[in-house]
Chains A and B, each alone.
Chain A
C-alpha cells in the first residue's frame, strides 16, 4: 500500500464527513449560530465585569467583548469536539464501519479522516467567530501572524479534544452516553479556567484549580494573541505545548480503543 493510496483514503473519508455535515443544514446552521449565541448572551450578561478594578490591568483591555472572544473560541471548539465521537457510534450501528473494515485500506485512515474533518469544521467555526468579533469591534492585536496562530490553536485544540469524545464513543458504543460523559468532562473545565474571567478575579479556590487546568493555558494563549500587541512566544508556545501534551494522551487512548474496535 503506497503513501499515495493512504492520502486518497484519508481524503475520501474526511470528504465523506464534511459532505455529511453539509447535508444536514440544521446541524450546520446551529453549529455556526452557536458561537454567535455564546457571544451575544455572555457579553450582554457579563459586560460590567470589565468595570471591576483589576480587570484592565490584568487583561490588558477594558473591553469584556475583546477578552471574551477567546472564550467563545474555546466554548465552540469544546462543543464541536464533544460530538465528534458520535459519528463513530452511528457508523457502528448502521454497519458502515464494517464496510470500511472490509475495504483494503489502512485502518488508521478511518480515524485520521474523521479527525481531519472535525478539524475542518472547527476552522470554519473559528472563522465565523472571528468575523463576528471584528464586527463587534474586536481586533487581533498581533496582526496576521496572530490570526494564523489563533486558527492554529483552535485546530490543534479541537483535534486533541475530539480524542476525548471519540475515546468515550469507542468505549461505550452509545451516542447518548458519549454526549453526556463528554459534556460533564469538558464544560466544567471551561469555568474552572481563565477563559471567561481573568485570573485575579477568580476565587482563590478556583484559581488553585485553574493552575492545573489545561484550558487555562490555551485561554491565556488566545487572550495574548487577541489583546496584547507584539507576539509573546512564551505564552503562545506554552499553549501549543499543552495542546500537544493533551493531544498525545487523548489520541493515544483513542487509538488503542479504535484498534480494539476495528480488530474485534
Chain B
C-alpha cells in the first residue's frame, strides 16, 4: 500500500464528438489530505471526478484509486468511496431520513448500525428538525447538506465532493467548510473541486489549478501564492482614444525600476512588484505622462485569484446559480444546466 490513495497519470477523457474534457493530467492524492481542484466551469473538474468514481470510462492514461485500477475493478472502488455530486442527487418525494435510510440499504449497512448512523448524520448537518419532511420542501442549503450526509453514510475512506458549496449562502458555506475540516481531522481523505478561491485556500492542503482540461499549476495554497513572489497592482483604463492602452501602459512602465513583471490580462494589466506600495506613485505618474487615464487601481498581496490570473491570463468567472423551480404537483425539479 502506497502513501497515495489516488494516482492519476496522463489521464485523457474525450467526449464524442472530439471534446477533450480532460487532456493528459497527472496528479496524486496522499492519504489523509484534502486535495483541491480549482478551476472555472468546464475546466474538466467534474469529468475527472466521474472517472475516479467509476461513473464514466476514461479515454486514455491510468487512474488508480486505493491501489485499484478504475478499469479493472470498479466495484471494489465503489465500496470505499463516498461521492456528493455537483447537482444534488436526492429524492424529492422522500424525507431526509428516508433518503439516508435508502442509502444505508444501498451500502449494506447493518440495520442496528444504520439508524444510529442516520441519527448522527442528521445531527451533524443540522437537519434533525426537518428530517421527516419531504426533501422537496428543503432550501438549497439543506439539500446540499443532505446530499453530503448521504455521501457519508458508507463512512468512506475517500470522499469526493464536487463543488460542495456552489450556490450556498455564506452562512451555509461556512458551516459546510467547518464540517469538511472536521471529517478530515477524523482521518478522511477528501478530494474536492471548487471554483471559489477562498474555499480552496481555506480547505485544501494541496491543490491543482485546472483550466481547459489541463493542470496549469499545483502546490500548497501558500506555495502557489509565494510563486507570485510579489504584490500585485491591477490596473484598468478608461477608454480615451488610446487604441491599445495595455500595450501603451507596458511601454510607459518599462523604464521603472522594481517591477518584476507586467502582464496583460482581461481588462488591463497586472504589475508584479516586490514592494508595490512604494511603487504606486511612480506608476501613476508614468501612466499620466503617457496620457493613460486609470479607471481602477488595486493593490493586493497575492491571492489564489492572482495565481489563476498569472497562469491563465484570465480572471476566474464564477457563474451565478440558477434558482430551482418547483411545481406543487409532484414537485418535479428542473435541473439548471
> Residues of A with Cβ closer than 8 Å to B?
1, 5, 8-9, 11-12, 15-16, 19-20, 23-24, 26-27, 90, 93-105, 263-264
Which residues of chain A are within 8 angstroms of B89 by Cβ–Cβ distance?
A: 94-99
Please list the 9 inter-chain residue pairs (A to B) with the smallest Cβ-Cβ separation, ordered nearest first: A12-B105, A95-B89, A103-B106, A99-B89, A104-B78, A20-B93, A23-B93, A95-B87, A104-B79
Which residues of chain B are within 8 angstroms of A9 by Cβ–Cβ distance?
A: 105-106
Q: Which stretch, B208-216, B225-233, B315-323, B325-333, touches the partner chain A?
A: B325-333
User: Chain B binding site: helix, strand, loop or mixed by DSSP?
Assistant: loop
A27 x B94 contact (CB < 8 A): no
Which residues of chain A are within 8 angstroms of B53 by Cβ–Cβ distance?
A: 102
Which residues of chain B are within 8 angstroms of A19 by Cβ–Cβ distance?
A: 93-94, 98
A16 x B332 contact (CB < 8 A): no
A27 x B330 contact (CB < 8 A): yes
Cα distance A100–B329 in the bound complex, in angstroms: 25
B330 x A264 contact (CB < 8 A): no
Query: Chain B, interface size: which category?
Result: 35 or more
- Of A8, A11, A96, A102, most buried by chain B (CB within 10 Å of CB) is A102
Cα distance A9–B78 in the bound complex, in angstroms: 15
State how many angstroms separate the Cβ of B158 from the closest Cβ of chain A: 12
Which residues of chain A are within 8 angstroms of B90 by Cβ–Cβ distance?
A: 94, 96
Which residues of chain A are within 8 angstroms of B78 by Cβ–Cβ distance?
A: 102-104
Which residues of chain B are within 8 angstroms of A90 by Cβ–Cβ distance?
A: 332
A104 x B93 contact (CB < 8 A): no
Q: Looking across the interface, which residue of chain A has its beta carbon closest to that of B75?
A: A104
Please name 6 further chain A to chain B contacts, defined as beta carbons within 8 Å, in addition to the given A90-B332, A99-B83, A101-B55, sorted by A numbering: A12-B105, A26-B330, A27-B330, A98-B85, A99-B103, A104-B78
B293 within 8 A of A: no
Which residues of chain A are within 8 angstroms of B87 by Cβ–Cβ distance?
A: 94-95
> What are 24 of the A-B contact pairs (CB < 8 Å)?
A1-B75, A8-B105, A11-B105, A12-B105, A15-B102, A19-B94, A19-B98, A20-B91, A20-B93, A20-B94, A93-B334, A94-B89, A94-B90, A94-B91, A96-B89, A99-B89, A100-B106, A102-B53, A102-B78, A103-B78, A103-B106, A104-B75, A104-B106, A104-B107
Cα distance A230–B92 in the bound complex, in angstroms: 49
